[in-house]
Structure 1
Amino acid sequence: MCCMYSQGSASRRWNVYRSGRTVSRALHRSYFAFSAVHLVFFHPLAKFPGPKLWAASRIPWAFHVIRGDLWQVLGRLHEVYGPVVRIAPDELTTTFPSAWKELYASKPLLLKDPYSQTPPLNGSHSLFTAEGDTHRRIRAVLSHSFSEKGLRSQACIIEKYADRFIRRVRREADQSLGPNGIGAVDLTKLYGYAAFDTITDLSLGESLCDGLKDMNEHAWVKNYFFHAKFSAIRTALSRFSPLDIILGLFLLGMTRSARQRNWRVITGALNRRLARRETEAMETKRYDLLSPLMDRLDGSGSNSITRGEMLTNGLAFVIAGTQLNTNVLSTATYLVLRHKEKWGRLVEEVRGRFEADSNITVQTTQDLTYLDAVINETIRIRHPTPINLPRIVPRGGHVVNGQPIPGNVVIGINLQTIQNSSAFWIKPREFHPERFLPAMDPRYDNCFNKDVKEAFAPFSTGPRNCVGNKLFFAQVRVLLARVVWNFDLVQLEEVGAQTDWLDQRAWFAFEPRPLLVKPVPRPST
């Protein structure tokens, strides 16, 4: 009898528990259903077009961030829904050219979306993460490093690694000769080594790996692109609590040893650079990105920088300078080789201007109009960082292109999307450097008069635009010009390649693919 009673009690308890679970599930389903209905139909952003599922949840957005194809999806969404698209419960993306000034040069300046940023490892801000007075102070100090005067003084470092790059290409081609006499060289890899060697020397006072020396190999460039993927995924997951904590710890654990090693190496290089500053004062003075900062390294006052900020910014410069330059150099080379007429025009300009490789310098490449057009068109058709630049609308709201945007939401421009939009560009997905030539240039085509050049701001605009754009152009011009002057390039198709080389995934930055070429030295070189 007691046993039967116990069994009956247990049965009743189980039924009560099961009923409670059923009610709980029903309440949860009701809550999410009501929440979704509110977000889609009654939220302040409900009037903006976009896919309903994206309006109801951040999950579709996060899914494509993790897949690395958000840039492609956003392009398709704008084609369907127009210049303003709702891509999350609280976020819009726009392609209005006027938004460059309205979002990034407004007064007061709109704040960055904190969810879009990776926090600094040492707690000291870089130009990318600092806000308000801190950002203004750091930028004012760093502006000396990226000035025209600074670039002229840094030119010898840039040109030194351009020399080494050409010699490494020749060595690589000689050592990879096969039975058919073709020496295959992966230019993406070597562009990465050149970019890394140059920017570490400029930012830290020494090349960390001498990747261009002899036949050296290293994985720093690949690791930076891996960490970009890791950071993008971590940033996307940070919006989903408490999943962000669990997965964040898991992801951080996977990369902890690599991050700690990188931090030790870069900190050591910076410390050695600081230790040499007194010696350099007595000898021939070296000038790099750190030189103007030496006398401002106290952290007090409006014209100073702390040691931690110097380290954080040095690391940021190394990562950005490596990723952007590698992407643009390899993509530009691929595009001109795929369009023989464009390659011919570039060859004509470069070889017609210079009598020797040594004449190709930072100063002498500044007025090569077709080379600049190739670089600009490369960035337009394939921006190296196809990301949104999200800003938080203040509580009182904001106006973009005459359209009121509610307060406390996020809105931004996707760099890749606005530069590839058929609303602003003639033949937007075709490679035509001529569109960036002066109108009086005989190579210019009047059909490109219809291009809306105001949509083109690859380095952003306003007080948070890219401070290093002049340095970027200087490095890319010299390397591309020297490649064109020294070699007749023949692109080799990768064995088993079934997809377009440009079909790449992106996490903060595009993940470049190998670019196999046969660099045939010109007889005169």
Structure 2
Amino acid sequence: MFVVTIPVPSQALDGIKFATNVVVPIPSTKAILSYFSIWQWSAIFLTLVFVWKILSARVLSPLAKIPGPFWETIFPYQMYKALSQGRFHEYLLCQQNKYGNIVYFANNRVLINDPNEARMILGKRNFIKSKDYYVKYLGAPNMFTNRDPKTNDIRRRQVGPAFTVSHIAEMEETIHRASSLAMKNKIEKLMDKTEQETGQRQCRINYVEDFYYLTFDVVGELAFGHNFGMLEKNDYTTLQWIHSLSFVVAIEATIPITKKLPFLMNKQIGETKKLVEFTRKIVEDRIRENKEKGKPERKDILQTFIDSVDKETGTKMTIPEIVSENIALIFAGTDTASNTMSWTLFLLMVYPAVYKKVVEEVRTAFPNPKSNIKYSEARSKLPYLEAVIYESMRYLPAVATGLARRVPKGGVELQGHKIPEGADVYVFIHGLHRNPKYWDQPDKFIPERFLGEGAAERKRNIFVFSTGYRICPGRNLAWVEIFLTMSRLLRDYDFELPKESYFGPDVIDPETGEPKIMPGFLGLTLGPKYTKRDGWIVVKPANLSRLSISTDNIGGCLGGGGGGGGGLRRNYSYPSSSSDISPSSTRKNSVEDSNSMFGQEDTEIPSSASSTASTIL
């Protein structure tokens, strides 16, 4: 115990004399600590933390005046729960619908869904990427993880030549062989087998998995000079490494403390390092072959990366940088295209009038089943297919969460609110695509909104590939993959959902009056969740007589006006409401019941959704 001597006046209080000095005991630190038990001190500490969290998030923060869920900005339990369940996009959309076009949804994080503000944020160089993008296991930053604007400019000049329209046109034959032709070969082999066994020329394929394998093989050909044989041989080794990288990126982006606790993901980090070493060996082998043979035999994306020189600085990419860019390409280049094709084909199956129209367009424009379909011809002759793809990207975007940007010095005003420097602004893509201010009947699947008057502006409001100077460099490649594959399949084959499918045009969601959508899982991208259950489709040879699809029972498939306030007219007549539709007695129309049937036995997630949480791209 310490003592302190305090001088006191000798006279006070009506002449009563006191000692001139008073000894005041001061308890020692040990005595103070021993006064409460460890549990009591823990409770005091947690209470102080709790109070500070409330004060910092809801009182002291400049963001406190922005609408948003009170407790989630302090302890985001519901957000993390949605992340773990692959429903982060649904969670954010719910917050958007409740609070408006700007939402304070988590500590220091603000969501926006206005396309004009989105273009402003994504188009300015001083809005740098959030720290969520940093990935330390790839050896070097790449186009997606790099946060420095100057370094990003150099890298874009280095990788840009690989993704020009002219260069991709040079690689179109390779893309065709690895995508639409490979898919056709697989289908034909399966049909041959089924015909021998049953006498019927048809087959069943898991289109969700096959689209992923297909895009994986395409990117492998272009970025690695190596066809992984995923579609044909189902070689999953490299795919498992990609799964692990997805897991690490997603977890570290959404739960930052895990970056300091790598032992929690030892297995995934180990497999990520295997992917890096595998890629490094391919790059080094190509460089060695070039030196031995004098000139490269292949002019693919990998070779372009090796040869490319930044004209302003004269620098070339190092081997670690090439490795990182190649991994980024196969990591991001497969998911966006494959999931877009999966959602597009599914939507065509549950909206038969749209399916009928797009098939008629493709088979009219390219009537010869033996002819190849070139991308430039498909893009110019198939406007309705393009509209269907755009609407699929809007309705179920592969990149569904947010593009996170750090607010620069001086802050910014959004939706009438001052956002301070250092806050993270999330350009919420799924919310942008469902904003009723810019999309008429946003919860309906209406491809016609991308045709006619106002279509160009509505296409600008699709943010799947981002926008501005950070726009996805691989978007041209994705469009070529999607168009070549979808146009060829829709011309050469008829598709229908299996009879045991839980979905179809007659399985109506009572909340929307629209056909039920199969469950999705948002990992790094949004893809179908139950691939083993919902990913199957029946394929038959194309038969024009099969196009006479009745639209008498498709309910709200295309009901209502056009998109974006354009009030588009239709050349069809549809039931005025879904109340006249009775779901087929042969088809199960309760997805909730079906999920309970499968429980934990069929929770397989496609590679695009292999993470247990979502990242912000």
* TM-score (norm: length of structure 2): 0.74
Aligned with 2:260 (options 234, 241, 245) = 245
**CA shift in 2, pair 1:109/1:38, >3 Å:** closer
Change (3 A) 1:453 1:474: closer
- Is the alpha carbon distance of 1:392 and 1:183 closer, same or farther for their aligned partners in structure 2, counting shifts above 3 Å? same
The answer as to 2:396 corresponding to 1:390 is: no
Q: Deviations over 1:213-259 (max 9, x none)?
A: 4x545364466356424421232221x4xx6533x3212x1224422
- The offset of 1:120, in angstroms, is 4.1
Counterpart CA distance in 1 for 2:303 and 2:456 is 45
Query: What displacement does 1:274 show?
Result: 2.6
* Residue 139 of structure 1 pairs with residue 156 of structure 2: yes
1:290 and 1:449, CA in 2 relative to 1: closer, same or farther beyond 3 A?
closer
CA contact (8 A) 1:205 1:270 kept: no
1:79 aligns with 97
Q: For the Cα contact (< 8 Å) 1:150–1:287, is it kept in 2?
A: no
Report the CA distance between 1:421 and its aligned residue: 2.3
Give me the whole-angstrom Cα distance separating, in 2, the residues matched to 1:343 and 1:460: 28
- 1:455 and 2:449 aligned: no
- Quick one: distance in 1 between partners of 2:110 and 2:292? 53
Q: Which amino acid aligns with 2:374?
A: T
- 1:476-495 alignment, distance < 5 Å: 476-492=482-498
**Which deviates the most, 127-136 or 453-462?**
453-462
**Match of 1:507, as an amino acid?**
G
The range that moved more, 220-229 or 478-487, is 220-229
Distance 1:20 1:476, change over 3 A: closer
- CA distance, structure 2, for counterparts of residue 394 and residue 256 of structure 1: 33
Higher relative contact order structure (alpha carbons within 8 Å, sequence separation ≥ 6): 1
Cα distance, 1:286 vs. partner?
2.9
Alpha-carbon offset, residue 402 of structure 1? 5.2
SS in 1 for 2:438: coil
Residue 375 of structure 1, aligned match among 389, 398, 404: 389
| 465, 478, 481: which one aligns with 1:475 | 481
- Is 1:211 matched with 2:230? yes
Structure (1 or 2) with the larger CA radius of gyration:
2
Q: Is the 8 A contact 1:297 1:306 kept in 2?
A: no
Asked if structure 2 preserves the Cα contact closer than 8 Å seen for 1:394 and 1:408, the reply is yes
Aligned counterparts of 1:176 and 1:273: Cα–Cα separation in 2: 42
Distance 2:443 2:220 in 1: 34
CA distance, structure 1, for counterparts of residue 473 and residue 461 of structure 2: 19
SS at match of 2:413: strand
Q: Residues 91-141 of structure 1: CA distance to partner in whole angstroms, max 9, x if unpaired?
A: 1000122112221112x4211111x22414243110012222211111011
Candidates 339, 342, 360, aligned match of 1:327: 339
Please tell me whether the aligned partners of residues 68 and 103 of structure 2 are also in contact (alpha carbons under 8 angstroms): yes
- For residues 454 and 403 of structure 1, the distance between their equivalents in structure 2, rounded to whole angstroms, comes to 25
Q: Which letter does structure 2 place at the counterpart of 1:419?
A: H
Q: 2:369 aligns with which of 356, 369, 372?
A: 356
Q: 1:357 to 1:264 in 2, by over 3 A?
A: farther
Change in CA separation of 1:275 and 1:299 when aligned onto 2, cut-off 3 Å: farther
Q: Cα distance, 1:18 vs. partner?
A: 4.6
Equivalent residue in structure 2 for 1:68, among 83, 86, 89: 86
User: What is the number of residues matched between the two proteins?
Assistant: 495
> 1:270 maps to what in 2?
283
CA contact (8 A) 2:398 2:527 kept: no
Deviations 1:125-177 (A, max 9, x none): 10012222211111011111111211111111111122122111222344457
- 1:276-319 deviations in whole A, cap 9, x for unaligned? 33577668x53211233333479993452211111100111011
The structure 2 residue matched to 1:342, chosen from 354, 371, 375, is 354
| Structure 2 counterparts to residues 1-16 of structure 1, below 5 A | 16=34
On the 8 A contact 2:244/2:268 being kept in 1, the answer is no
**Structure 2 CA distance, aligned partners of 1:451 and 1:282?**
45
| 1:197 aligned partner, one-letter code | D
Given that residues 299 and 306 in structure 1 are in contact (C-alpha distance below 8 angstroms), is that contact kept between their aligned partners in structure 2? no
CA distance in 1, matches of 2:234, 2:42: 62
Equivalence for 2:324: 312
Q: Which runs of 5+ in 2 are unaligned?
A: 1-29, 510-515, 545-617
The residue that corresponds to 1:152 in the other structure is 169
Q: 2:206 aligns with which of 172, 186, 203?
A: 186
Which amino acid in the other structure matches residue 382 of structure 1?
A: L
Task: Report what 2:216 is aligned to.
Answer: 196
Cα distance 1:220–1:324, how it changes in 2: closer, same or farther (>3 A)?
Answer: farther
Report the Cα distance in structure 1 between the residues aligned to 2:526 and 2:268, rounded to whole angstroms: 20
Structure-1 separation of matches of 2:100 and 2:273: 45
Q: 1:273 to 1:295 in 2, by over 3 A?
A: same
Q: Structure 1 pair 413/357, CA: closer, same or farther in 2 (3 Å)?
A: farther
What letter corresponds to residue 213 of structure 2 in structure 1?
Y
Letter of the 2:69 partner, please give it: P
1:417 and 2:431 matched: yes
Partner of 1:6: none
314-323 vs 497-506, which deviates more? Answer: 497-506
Change (3 A) 1:198 1:491: same
Opposite residue 430 of structure 2, the aligned amino acid is Q
Paired with 1:164 and 1:35, the residues of 2 have a C-alpha distance of: 56
Q: CA 1:449–1:459 in 2, change beyond 3 Å: closer, same or farther?
A: closer
Residue matched to 1:117:
133
Alignment partner for residue 166 of structure 1, among 184, 187, 198?
Answer: 184
| AA aligned opposite 1:272 | D
Tell me which residue corresponds to 2:585: none
CA distance in 2, matches of 1:292, 1:235: 30
Q: Decide whether the 8 Å contact of 2:280 with 2:319 is kept in 1.
A: no
Aligned equivalents of 1:345, 1:496: Cα separation in 2: 24
Q: Aligned partners of 1:224 and 1:122: how far apart in 2? A: 12
TM-score (norm 1): 0.86
SS of aligned partner of 1:192: helix
Tell me how far 1:265 sits from its aligned partner: 2.6
Q: Name the SS of the counterpart of 1:127 in structure 2.
A: coil
Which range moves more in the overlay, 134-143 or 175-184?
175-184
**Could you tell me how far apart the structure 2 residues matched to 1:404 and 1:35 are?**
21
Structure 1 range deviating more: 323-332 or 79-88: 323-332
Any conservation in 2 of the 1:71–1:386 contact (CA below 8 Å)? Answer: yes
Alignment of 1:97-112 (within 5 A): 97-106=115-124, 108-112=125-129
1 CA distance for matches of 2:385 and 2:300? 26
Q: Which runs of 5+ in 1 are unaligned?
A: 1-11, 440-447
Quick one: percent identity of the two aligned structures? 20
Cα distance change, pair 250–476 in 1 and its aligned pair in 2 (3 A): same
In structure 2, relative to structure 1, the CA distance for the partners of 1:29 and 1:425 (3 Å cut) is: same
Matched, 1:295 2:301: no
Q: Is the 8 A contact 2:244 2:269 kept in 1?
A: no
CA–CA distance in 2 between the matches of 1:166 and 1:450? 33
